[in-house]
A and B are shown apart, each in its own frame.
Chain A
Amino acid sequence: MTTSARSSYLDAEPREDNYLAAGYGIKSWLLTVDHKRIALLYLISLTAFFTVGGLFAVLVRLELLTPQGDLFQSEIYNRLFTMHGTFMVFFFLLPSVPAVFGNFLLPLMLGARDVAFPKLNLLSWYLYVAGGLLSFVAMLAGGVDTGWTFYAPYSSTYANSQVIVSALGIFVAGFSSILTGVNFIATIHKMRAPGLTWFRLPLFVWAHYATSLIMVLGTPVVAVTIVLVAIERLFHVGVFDPALGGDPVLFQHLFWFYSHPAVYIMILPAMGIMSELIAAFSRKRVFGYPVVAISSLAIAVLGFLVWGHHMFVSGQSVFAGFVFSLLSMLVAVPSAIKVFNWTATLYRGSLSFRTPMLYALGFIGLFTIGGLTGVFLASLAVDVHVHDTYFVVAHFHYVMVGGVVMAYMGGLHFWWPKFFGRMYPENVARTAAVLIFAGFNLTFFPQFLLGYLGMPRRYHAYPEEFQVLNVLSTAGASVLGLGFLLPLCYLAWSLKYGRKVGPNPWHAAGLEWTTTSPPPKHNFDAIPTVEHGAYAYAELDAEEVAHA
């Protein structure tokens, strides 16, 4: 490819009817039904919640610097980790990729003018914000100290904190998630451009389809469970209260029926981003495309059959433990398949190591560790020892932060020019990516060791022999925190000073790159007709040569 071909992609002036220019007042944002603007609303609110959740994490790590539990009282500490968990899980991780990237990109990738139900989409955002505000109210009114898992009977009877308000916040946010799922399912089924058959769809779309299924099928169960906890607290009906004949283990069943598949709600869209990044920066179609596509659905379906692996020591029957352990092993396979296929995609590619690609490679590394340590937890005897220890904490942070957040950051850099028509500064972005990767490992790797040593999670004070590893972890957390501050600054900077770009700064395949950056209000001047599958890099390269 030649310099002249390249220049046609860069330094373009944005067109005047782009979606950002479609209105400037507050009302034009708060009442918008444009999926792209709603995505940005989510981006802003998610960043706010991520910051709050991150602050709680910082305080938690500071407390754990010393074994005595001397920085906060235990009441405060318990609230800190609970709020960290609820904000991060329910108000950042669950909506993160679907709400920002799914919303912005699905219609663009499908060649549609919007999602199927634009008003419902806006309602989803309002529900999400309302849920978040309720959680904020709960926080200001004294916080909640049940842990993000809300285990009964502690949550339903014993906790003296804002359980009901907080639970209501999660309930409301849950409906945001459900409606997003409904919206995406209808969009993917019915809004595809002519010629865009299922096996021509980008893997990002497949991943979002699988995630939407889980949102619709799983979320209502946790919603009704939360309702039951509130009813139990208000009326003492006994459903979860052993003092009245209830079985507290039932709460765990219902909670994990959703909350285990929920980790796939978080990771599947991240995997979708991964496929896009790997393909774009290798300039290749994804190796084994149909297998990767189907593996997303396999994860969504199998993911519903494994929830009991959270309950091996809870009083669940031995038989159920065996069944859930075996099925948990099966669900690890489609994830492994994805990792292998991404790696194989690099083979004989033309790899460039721009920031999004660095995040993608980081994802593969960290997700491999996160996924394989999941096998430890699915294996009964080892789980008995490491259950509810820092091993579990490390494992899910490797998947949730090392996986979801890495992909989120990678996607943010990749599609940033599409969102705003401007490029982020490359060098500082690469530095931040390396910082985040290093800080992450330093924070969470020691926690695997702590876990096997036996340090229980949610401990405010701990025996002295665990201090070395905890200090390492806190040190890593400061690096990680710094790593996250950098993008906050330079991305904001780039909104005004970043270099202007044309429709396709990455020379990437995909319908979203055929429209201008930022896209016009209705996405496409004419609905495109699709003639080949996603990742048509061979065709793209040929076109460029022809141009040159």
Chain B
Amino acid sequence: MFQDFSLFPEAASTVAGRVDELYLFLVGMTAFAATGIFSTLLFFAVRYRRRQGRKATQIEGSIPLEVLWSAVPLALFVFAFGWGAKVYLEVHNRPKDCMQFYVTGKQWMWKIQHPTGQREINALHIPVGEPIELTMISEDVIHDFFVPAFRVKRDVVPGMYTSIWFEATKVGTYHLFCAEYCGTKHSQMIGEVIVMDPADYEQWLSGQPAGADPVESGRLLFENLLCATCHEPGPRQRGPSLAGRFGTKVGTQAGRQVPFDEDYVRSSILDPMLDLSVGFEPVMQTYKGQVTETNIQHLIAYLKSIGAQPVAGETSAEGEEL
């Protein structure tokens, strides 16, 4: 029972230390305030205990004191906000050139896919010292991807992509938890994050059954689902050609400009009538039920590879952030 017992979690990512600093500051503030209040209470309790012949002195109050003990906590709390916000932006804003992993949460497992196509369940092998970005979606209820050693956590929501990034600093094996209650086996929706030396990671990758590269499986899906029939130039073309499109803007029939990004591709596959591209008939059938979330991620990877920016990566407007 005392195995691995500790009172403070391991810190194994670039942001962990920053979060811990703020945490310790807050612990210090709490300890200071609590000690102050408790010792005052204790002192008053002894000093002013009821004694024969001594009466309480009635005191109205004191405006200067009220101002003081409103202003000091306010200043401290706003400082805690500022610091928290600053570190939060570091936790939240990913660097450029992250390795792109795909995560699908479902009751009750994590399905994870490497940039090179290898798949694993409830485990994530990553190289140390590389920024990693996970693009995540849920197939059913809300889950939450939580790695305590990295001090990162993000809800994995059905119907919308969320993302999280981290850079591991220490080789080792760390807990992966689902932190949003998701039903019966919530506490078994756990796994491991295994941080390896880059060389070991390469070796691990090559030892895996060479799962098809997402771009390659996406290309196969694109063929097998006969997407090309309508979406490549030719006599039977009925929809927009998709080469060079990813990362651009689409003019929709509702007159809006929407980004041709992961969400757009996903929604166009599952619900083609939403945001139809201008200049085409509404003839596409939904592929709901025929493709899995993983299939969609592969198709996205393929479209990215033939897109405007062939490098897998940024599509959202992170640069404009706050």
The segment from B46-54, B196-204, B278-286, B298-306 found at the interface with A is B46-54
Q: Which segment of A229-237, A285-293, A497-505 sits at the interface?
A: A285-293
B147-185 vs A, CB cutoff 8 Å, 1 = contact: the mask equals 011011111011110100000000000010111111111
Let me know if B3 and A465 touch, CB within 8 A: yes
Chain A at the B interface: mostly helix, strand, loop or mixed? helix
User: In the bound complex, what is the Cα–Cα distance between A396 and B40 (angstroms)?
Assistant: 25
* Contact status B74-A330, CB under 8 Å: yes
Chain A residues with Cβ under 8 A from B50's Cβ? 350-352
Chain A window 174-206, contacts with chain B (Cβ cutoff 8 Å), 1 for yes, 0 for no: 000000000000000000000000000000000
A336 within 8 A of B: yes
Q: Check if B314 is an interface residue, CB within 8 A of chain A.
A: no
User: Once the chains bind, are A382 and B84 in contact (CB under 8 Å)?
Assistant: yes
Least CB separation from A536: chain B residue: B58
Please report B residues at the A interface, Cβ cutoff 8 Å.
1-9, 18-19, 22-23, 26, 29-30, 33-34, 37-38, 40-41, 44-45, 48-51, 54-62, 65-66, 69-70, 73-74, 77-78, 80-81, 83-88, 90-92, 107, 140-142, 144, 146, 148-149, 151-155, 157-160, 162, 175, 177-188, 321-322
Any B CB within 8 A of the CB of A475: no
Task: Find chain A residues with CB under 8 A from B40 CB.
Answer: 343
In the complex, how many angstroms separate the beta carbon of B81 from the nearest chain A beta carbon? 5
Sample of 10 more A-B contacts, CB < 8 Å, known A151-B141, A332-B73, A384-B151: A242-B158, A247-B159, A282-B56, A290-B61, A318-B92, A336-B70, A344-B65, A350-B55, A361-B41, A381-B18
Query: Which residues from chain A contact B70 at a C-beta distance below 8 Å?
Result: 333, 336-337
Most buried by B among A282, A318, A352, A456: A456
| A71 located at the interface, meaning its Cβ lies under 8 Å from any Cβ of chain B in the complex | no
Give 1 or 0 for each of A309-335: 1 = CB within 8 Å of chain B CB: 000011100110110011001101100
Which of A287, A313, A346, A348 sits near B45, CB closer than 8 Å? A346
- With A333-B77, A337-B70, A380-B84 known as contacts, the answer to whether A145 contacts B184 (CB < 8 A) is yes
In the complex, A26 has a CB within 8 A of chain B: no
Nearest-CB residue, chain A, relative to B27:
A376
Q: How distant is A299 from chain B, measured CB to nearest CB, in Å?
A: 13
Cα A154 to Cα B143 in complex, Å, equals 10
Give 16 A-B contacts (CB < 8 Å), ordered by A residue: A151-B180, A242-B157, A242-B160, A313-B155, A322-B85, A330-B77, A340-B69, A346-B41, A350-B55, A351-B50, A364-B41, A368-B38, A369-B34, A372-B29, A459-B186, A460-B187
Whether A151 contacts B142 in the complex (CB less than 8 A), given A321-B88, A471-B1, comes out as yes
**In the complex, which of the residues B2, B85, B177 contacts A380, with contact meaning CB atoms closer than 8 Å?**
B85
Sorting the interface of chain A by its residue count into under 10, 10 to 19, 20 to 34 or 35 or more gives 35 or more
Q: With the chains together, A243 CA to B142 CA distance in Å?
A: 12
Q: A381 near B88 (CB under 8 angstroms)?
A: yes
Question: Which of B23, B56, B321 sits near A452, CB closer than 8 Å?
Answer: B23
In the bound complex, do residue B157 and residue A248 qualify as a contact, i.e. CB atoms below 8 Å apart?
yes
Complex contact B184–A78 (CB within 8 A): yes
Please give me the residue from chain A that is nearest to B151 by CB atom: A385
Cα distance A287–B188 in the bound complex, in angstroms: 52
Q: Are A325 and B85 in contact (CB under 8 A)?
A: yes
Contact with B along A215-254 (1 / 0, CB 8 A): 0000000000000000000000000001101111100000
Q: A249 — which chain B residues lie within 8 A by C-beta? A: 157
Q: Tell yes or no: A118 within 8 A of B by CB.
A: no
A33 at the binding interface (Cβ < 8 Å): no
- A427-466 vs B, Cβ < 8 Å mask (1 yes, 0 no): 0000000000000000000000100111011111111110
| Nearest B-chain residue to A384, judged by Cβ | B153
Which residues from chain A contact B65 at a C-beta distance below 8 Å?
288, 340, 344
Which residues from chain A contact B185 at a C-beta distance below 8 Å?
A: 74
Say whether, besides A78-B186, A158-B140, A289-B61, A313 and B153 are in contact (CB < 8 Å).
yes
> A residues bordering B, Cβ < 8 Å?
69, 74-75, 78, 145-147, 151, 153-154, 157-159, 242-243, 245-249, 282-285, 287-291, 313-315, 318-319, 321-322, 325-326, 329-330, 332-333, 336-337, 339-341, 343-344, 346-353, 361, 364-365, 368-369, 372-373, 375-376, 378-385, 387-389, 449, 452-454, 456-465, 467-468, 471, 537-538, 541
With A369-B30, A537-B58 as given contacts, are A291 and B66 in contact (CB-CB < 8 Å)?
yes
Contact at A243–B159, with CB atoms within 8 Å?
yes
Inter-chain contact A378/B183, CB cutoff 8 Å: no
Measured between alpha carbons, how far is A341 from B59 in the docked complex, in Å?
11
State whether B58 touches A74 (Cβ < 8 A): no
- A385 touching B84, Cβ below 8 Å: no
Report B-chain residues with C-beta under 8 Å of the C-beta of A74: 184-188
Query: Which chain B residues border A322 with CB–CB below 8 Å?
Result: 85, 322
Q: With a CB–CB cut-off of 8 A, which chain B residues contact A321?
A: 88
In the complex, are the beta carbons of B162 and A348 less than 8 A apart? no
Chain B hits for A471, CB < 8 A: 1
Q: How far is the CB of A390 from chain B (nearest CB, A)?
A: 11
B91 and A381 form a contact (CB under 8 A) = yes
Decide: B88 and A380 in contact? CB cutoff 8 A: yes
Would you call B140 and A388 a contact (CB within 8 A)? no
A456 touches B158 (CB 8 A): no
Query: Are the C-beta atoms of A314 and B3 separated by less than 8 Å?
Result: no
Chain A residue numbers with a CB within 8 Å of B144 are 313, 388
Knowing A154-B142, A332-B73, A454-B148, say if A325 contacts B8 (CB, 8 Å). Answer: no
- Pick the residue among B59, B179, B186 that contacts A284 (CB under 8 A): B59
User: How far does the alpha carbon of A321 sit from the alpha carbon of B154 in the complex, in Å?
Assistant: 13
Would you call B187 and A461 a contact (CB within 8 A)? yes
The 3 closest A-B pairs by CB, nearest first: A454-B148, A242-B159, A379-B84
Q: Are A288 and B61 in contact (CB under 8 A)?
A: yes
Choose among B23, B45, B86, B186 the residue that contacts A351 (Cβ–Cβ < 8 A).
B45
* Complex Cα spacing A443 to B155, Å: 29
Contact B26 A375 (CB under 8 A): yes
Contact A153 B142 (CB under 8 A): yes
What residue in chain A is nearest B58 (Cβ atoms)?
A: A538
Could you tell me if A454 and B158 are in contact, using CB atoms closer than 8 angstroms?
no
- Chain B residues near A385 (CB, 8 Å)? 19, 23, 148, 151-153
B78 and A154 contacting across the interface, CB-CB below 8 Å: no
- Contact, CB under 8 Å: B1 / A454: no
Contact partners of A78 in chain B: CB under 8 A: 181, 183-184, 186
Residues of A within 8 A of B160 (CB): 242, 247, 315
Q: Which of B69, B140, B179 lies in contact with A389, CB distance below 8 A?
A: B179
**B318–chain A nearest beta-carbon distance, Å:** 10
Residues of chain A with a CB closer than 8 A to B162's CB: 315
A179 to chain B, nearest CB (A): 32
Chain B residues with CB under 8 A of A326? 78, 81
Which residues of B lie under 8 Å from residue A247 when comparing CB positions?
159-160
- Most A-side CB within 10 Å, residue of B6, B140, B142: B142
Q: A158-B107, A372-B33 are in contact. Are A284 and B157 (CB under 8 A)?
A: no
